[in-house]
Homo-oligomer: A and B are copies of this chain.
Amino acid sequence: MTQTEKDEKYMRMALVEAREAMERDEVPIGAVVVSPRGTVVGRGHNLTEALVDVSAHAEMQAITAAAQTLGGKYLQDCTLYVTVEPCLMCAGAIGWAQVSRIVYGAADDKRGYHTFTSKSPFHPRAEIIGGVLGEECAELMRTFFKSKR
């Protein structure tokens, strides 16, 4: 499997999470954390409404879950897949966790971290890849927000 195929495989898992959020009437964003050996060590989807908690974003759930699975709060060798560009809060958490590879689907020009930052919030050696299954990830968001209008 090429790296691109691998990235799409895990992004599809993040999309499964995003669809679960959608079914619960939550903003449809999903995330998975994958170990260097290719094991999913954490997953999550947006649960801000259900948990009455602004911090219950997909990435936060997945990072917390991964830390529990691995028994340590640093995820240096892991890849985080998330269907939408992380917000500032999640980017900060990803930085604290020292995640070394961040792969996201759709860009978010309004709430994504890049709109607010002047300096990378991630680990200095982190690799950031956007646009993986980006259209599919964006479409899910459009469908959700259209249904809310």
Q: Which residues of A contact B (CB under 8 A)?
A: 48, 52-55, 60, 63-64, 67-68, 71-74, 87-93, 95-97, 115-119, 121
Contact = CB atoms under 8 A, between A and B. Distances in A.
Contact of A117 (B64, B72, B116): B116
Nearest to A118: B118
B93 A54 contact: yes
3 interchain residue pairs of minimum CB distance: A89-B92, A88-B92, A118-B118
Nearest to A54: B96
A60 B54 CA distance: 9
Contacts of A54: 63, 67, 73-74, 93, 96-97
Contact of A55 (B52, B60, B87, B119): B60
A53 B64 contact: yes
A52 B63 CA distance: 11
A52 B103 CA distance: 24
A119 B119 contact: no
B73 A64 contact: no
Given A48-B73, A54-B96, A89-B91, 6 more contacts: A54-B73, A55-B63, A88-B91, A88-B121, A89-B89, A89-B90
Nearest to A92: B89
